[in-house]
Structure 1
């Protein structure tokens, strides 16, 4: 292909979920692969490129986010291309291995690459001369890894892991070494079986980087299955929503509520979530609210802990914060929060006092532990595999997703709560504070533990 025949491939990052969508444009037409639910980003990008979206492709029924594919296809009149096999509740072009989608002058060839799901496919983008330009691998071949194989239930994991091994090898066997690889998962997504490396790659580069290509089949299967860690609880809802067909997205500002209504909702034990920074929350917050700092980890952990379907009210410094959180939540199917409040926290408390707790770092924890005060508890909210790799002697390990149900297991005394960076610990601190426990948030990187001589047990 000459330079003028080369399609443009634009990446749409959703860093909060660790995923990528793609818009391929050429000669005024555009193809979209695995779009997120907030389709306005994709529509805007297509307009910038003066391209009309003619086809929307899904590599699989997603388990980590609500797709925007159905709505995007309806909004643009594009053909909606989805792998055959799943009993979906909407009209689509169902494709199987070997099918070719003609998006003149471009072509997408379908390759069945099971592993992440049974019906997962990859799409090989071929140009005007039929030469493979790129392959969109969804949750199959990732950069130095593969998609996890346990999301459809443990009874399928063994067979899907073997299938994943062969799918990745098929991609390498059938595509030229210089074919660009564009996965959907693997940029922080829990859909990745193991951590990935790099922001771009080719089929040739994966030969020496991907475990499905550098290990024998049984070693790959055993290593992948043994290394599978916990994934967010909200994943249980994603496949169901995507199979039925998601409703149109609503990104409008939630209804404002006043201090009296905020208090009523808190006393009713509804979810009232404060989006401000974790240090601001610690310094002053509404008694009974929960702190989920609006950051790249916000939607993952709120979705993980959230009681599905419960009323949810958001508190933020600005309206933009509320709108950003609303967008993030819509991506995982938490639609139309039931209310919002914006402004200085002291103006939102009404007649009730502001509640607070202390913050420190690991140096402060070392000093506190040196006081030989038995009325002090170290709570480690990391996952068990993190704890087993090294932890502070005597620390109690309750992973954050389990804390709401297990907070009564934390011994009495002043609780110094930590994780690997401070983010999970900040959520845990708010949960414990709501339970009227005395808390100190350790807002620090766990790397400091060894440097400070807080020897870790393994």
Structure 2
């Protein structure tokens, strides 16, 4: 009996897949930390024979090559992709037999990248399945702009054609298994769906329900910024990344932490925003493990800056290290566990947390700076009258644009604002973290409505 096992990486919004027939298995789009796959193989008692990549990924470092080397599996990457390692090249139309009954067929699906492939799985007695990578997603498609604006126009039309090709060639009952679309910035939009079929997508996916021009116009209009670290992922994947080293970094004492902070290195506090606001080491930055930690750290950090992690426990540090190797931050300088009292020889720094109701009240009594660090599209959909808008991903370069005075910083729910607050605090600004849901702001503040986009 065939089994398809989804391997979720919710922090990056991606899925990998292990498929087996009880004896042999193949994997599609494995993440960097291949120990998860190896554990599944051992648990199912199956042997891995093939690894398939749908494309050269833009949002994470692949574990495909390392997994193939560890297991002796064939590593299938599009023959048209320029890579610097040995692989089992595969082309559109090629069939690969896995085990006695599973057949995998490569289908050209350009759009997310020029050389993107989908893989159709056909097994006697089983419903067909298609592994669509960054092509046809649940209710959406992969974004076409990650290779640069010069290629976006061509790729968006190719993406439409690829989705239509899959829908025309495959039966409605075919199960759809995308890699992106679960929070990844590689997706044009996000979906709450957890499963789908070709028939379902024919009724709901804009690429299959709209005219080509309607789809193109709507998709391009909805694209917003994507993480800066994406620029590093393609070259890393084309070079053939090795398996990561997940051994714990050496422990840092108070003096070492101070030296690293004074040197301008990133010393990152992994605790929640509540804990950080209540007490932290001066100069440290708060990227809590309770949010999209790796996405935002990778987005903001000047690439190559040394990183040290501070966590309540060694398990927290290990979890963060696993997240970072997935985006190619392999080397940690040091780590420390415990509380701020264990990490600094001086009194911990603090700053207040507040609500939007608190902001409304204080604005009646004294002038304060309201800083909105949401993305451009969120700002356009509605914002607080008089707020200063600097998206979080641009804040480091634009700290000088934040007006003088007390800064009340907010995002949509508090996580991004906590990162911004820590950046401002490290720059010695007087900051208040608005730890609240922006949907509540309109109840107490003058909010510029969606219809007033030009305001």
- Give the TM bin, normalised by the shorter chain: over 0.9
What value does the CA root-mean-square deviation take over the aligned residues? 1.1
Residue 366 of structure 1: aligned partner: 360
> Of 22, 29, 35, which aligns to 1:40?
35
CA distance in 1, matches of 2:21, 2:235: 34
> Of 101, 107, 125, which aligns to 2:103?
107
User: Does the alignment pair 1:277 with 2:272?
Assistant: yes
Structure 1: state its 5+ residue gaps. Answer: 1-5
Residue 410 of structure 1: aligned partner: 402
User: Does the alignment pair 1:116 with 2:108?
Assistant: no
Render the CA deviation track for 1:182-212: whole Å, top value 9, x for unaligned.
0000000000012224010000000011111
CA distance in 2, matches of 1:144, 1:337: 38
Instruction: State how many pairs are aligned.
Output: 449
CA distance in 2, matches of 1:367, 1:179: 56
User: Does the alignment pair 1:56 with 2:51?
Assistant: yes
Contact 2:76 2:88 in 1 (8 A): yes
Deviation of 1:132 after TM superposition, in Å, equals: 5.7
Deviation of 1:449 after TM superposition, in Å, equals: 0.9
Contact 1:61 1:243 in 2 (8 A): yes
> Of 327, 348, 351, which aligns to 1:354?
348
Alignment of 1:276-355 (within 5 A): 276-350=271-345, 352-355=346-349
Deviation of 1:115 after TM superposition, in Å, equals: 0.4
Contact 1:144 1:197 in 2 (8 A): no
Deviation of 1:369 after TM superposition, in Å, equals: 1.4
Q: TM-score, normalised by structure 2?
A: 0.97
User: Does the alignment pair 1:162 with 2:154?
Assistant: no
Deviation of 1:97 after TM superposition, in Å, equals: 1.1
User: Does the alignment pair 1:435 with 2:440?
Assistant: no
Deviation of 1:454 after TM superposition, in Å, equals: 4.0
CA distance in 1, matches of 2:385, 2:106: 53
> Of 346, 356, 374, which aligns to 1:382?
374
CA distance in 1, matches of 2:191, 2:136: 10
User: Does the alignment pair 1:235 with 2:208?
Assistant: no
Deviation of 1:149 after TM superposition, in Å, equals: 0.3
Q: Is the partner of 1:425 in helix, strand or coil?
A: helix
Render the CA deviation track for 1:125-155: whole Å, top value 9, x for unaligned.
01136x7620000000000000000111111
> Of 411, 427, 436, which aligns to 1:444?
436
CA distance in 1, matches of 2:164, 2:7: 27
Residue 3 of structure 1: aligned partner: none
Deviates more, 1:359-368 or 1:329-338: 359-368
Q: TM-score, normalised by structure 1?
A: 0.96
Alignment of 1:62-77 (within 5 A): 62-77=57-72
CA distance in 1, matches of 2:416, 2:447: 22
Deviation of 1:336 after TM superposition, in Å, equals: 2.3
Deviates more, 1:159-168 or 1:290-299: 290-299
